[in-house]
Amino acid sequence: MTAAPHPGDQPFATRLVSLPVPPPSGFTTADLPQLMEIIGGRFELRDGDIVMMATPTHWHDEVAHYLRSALRGVAPREFVVANEKGVDLGHSNPEPDVLAVSREAVASGSFIFAPTDVHLAIEVMSPGSKTKDRKLRPAQYAEAGIACFWRVENEDDAMVVYTFELLPEG
């Protein structure tokens, strides 16, 4: 007697991905243009290492689109509301799902901004980003001097926004 294979027993589908070997001191945001040409997929630098990013869920995309549209309608003229652009933290480049940046920092080829130009960073949490969004991002953005951070979570298909504001004393 033979048993039918159980779906969980099947190996994961894979594809060969070629990632560059980091230099001894790790990659920096200055390496991003060259890395973007080599790596096919979404990634961030985290402490000099390449970290591949998971495909966002439909809920994640809808919430990010909604927030981006709503903010564009109310943002003062001196700000540009963007999506998925990096923040230059040297050896790290987090990419908030939505961010408000100083208009004078934006050019047609912009893909990364200095923290001093970022006035609001929004992360829409996905099942695979809980630890990153709840623990790492608030600390990174505060340390970089970004004044406002929002973390958006799905609670019973409702959008719940947790807001963080950098106090004058840091």
128-142 as b/e, with b when 16 or more CB fall inside 10 Å?
ebeebbeeebbebbb
Which residues does residue 87 pair with via DSSP β-bridges, in sequence order?
Answer: 113
The per-residue pLDDT for range 13-48, each reduced to its tens digit, is 776 667 788 889 989 988 888 888 888 778 888 888
Listed by start position, the domains of the chain span: 7-51, 55-165
**Which residue shows structure tokens 């990634």?**
43
Tokens of 69: 């549209």
CA atoms within 13 A of residue 78's CA, in its CB half-sphere: 4
Distance CA 55, CA 61 (A): 10
Tokens of 167: 């106090």
Number of neighbours of residue 123 by Cβ within 10 angstroms = 27
Give the contacts of 38 (CB within 8 A, at least 6 positions apart).
Answer: 18, 20
pLDDT one digit per residue (tens) for the chain, 170 residues: 555 666 666 777 776 667 788 889 989 988 888 888 888 778 888 888 888 888 888 999 999 999 999 999 999 999 999 998 999 999 999 999 999 999 999 999 888 999 999 999 999 998 888 888 999 999 999 999 999 999 999 999 999 999 999 888 76
Q: What is the pLDDT of residue 4?
A: 60
Q: What is the pLDDT of residue 152?
A: 97
Q: What are phi and psi of 148, to 5 degrees?
A: -135, 135
In 3D, which of 20, 48, 47, 46 has the Cα closest to residue 34? 20
Distance CA 81, CA 112 (A): 13
CATH superfamily of 55-165: tt1808, chain A (3.90.1570.10)
Tokens of 89: 């933290």
Q: What is the pLDDT of residue 122?
A: 97
